Structure 1
């Protein structure tokens, strides 16, 4: 075996060990047939993303969740912003597209009623149209 082949073999074994150690014991047996890091990675990606049908369903659910995003009673503004950021991140992963203006409008509309005067002022002055996420 050449030096490059030995290095590649060692890297493969290290990567495989790291990835398998990250798997929970309860599901490790489900991946026992994977013998290479590439094979294991592909199986994990497929499992995490799901098949085309589940991705399509998730896409639709995320779109609906975005359209219906609202403030939850007794939620802090920070928690709401974190929840919204997480939603946007998931939307990006599933290619659910929304413009900057749609995102700003959705977040503004979701704010609790005590923010309505401030949001109306931003809309009236046109500042709301210039904001970005």
Structure 2
């Protein structure tokens, strides 16, 4: 039986961050930071983004003072320097070509992050425009033909997360009802069952998804019969 935990593990296996959405920069920013935090040594990468890269210690050699070479750094210093490089690469992977071309000369993750932040100022929609845009998406949200329940669930979770990011709130029963009612007719029997089995005022759509995923095969058979 497919479980919610199994899907959550799969959902976390990503090989690159999201590409920036200029109209939802704050949302992209928070997601990329969360993505970095979840990587190995992610907290050190975040430290580089916030405070800048390792400042190489200096040594005196032949009467001159110069920075140490990488090979002469301590293991901890090498790790810190490597984390800054990794953070820089992750940020670059999330940029569209037009933004990438304006920041690719920066080497340090902090410099690049600050530059992207400066470029994105003024490109994001106003709060009212974003709120209207998201409410409209929520209102029109539905299962796409050929889409699996898992793909539907991920799109819905992303939409709700975008709404929460800018402080939008809705009653739990409203969110749960939308998640169920936006499914196609072949799900009607199972939607009725889950409404009887779950309290839509106290449960959440994660639990609804976990319940429905057990019956996806039957729903697919019903769709084929239709």
TM-score by length of 1: 0.64
Whole-angstrom distance in 1 between the partners of 2:123 and 2:101: 25
1:45 corresponds in structure 2 to 117
1:3 corresponds in structure 2 to none
Whole-angstrom distance in 1 between the partners of 2:119 and 2:131: 16
2:100 matched to 1:54?
no
Whole-angstrom distance in 2 between the partners of 1:99 and 1:91: 13
Ranges in structure 1 where 5+ consecutive residues have no aligned partner: 1-6
Residues 47 and 89 (structure 1 numbering): CA distance in 2 closer, same or farther, change over 3 Å?
farther
How much is the aligned-residue C-alpha RMSD, in angstroms?
A: 3.7
Whole-angstrom distance in 2 between the partners of 1:106 and 1:89: 15
Whole-angstrom distance in 1 between the partners of 2:89 and 2:154: 30
More helix by share: 1
Higher mean C-alpha displacement, 92-101 vs 16-25: 16-25
1:30 equivalent among 92, 97, 102? 102
2:138 matched to 1:66?
yes
Give the number of equivalent residue pairs. 126
Ranges in structure 2 where 5+ consecutive residues have no aligned partner: 1-52, 57-76, 206-226
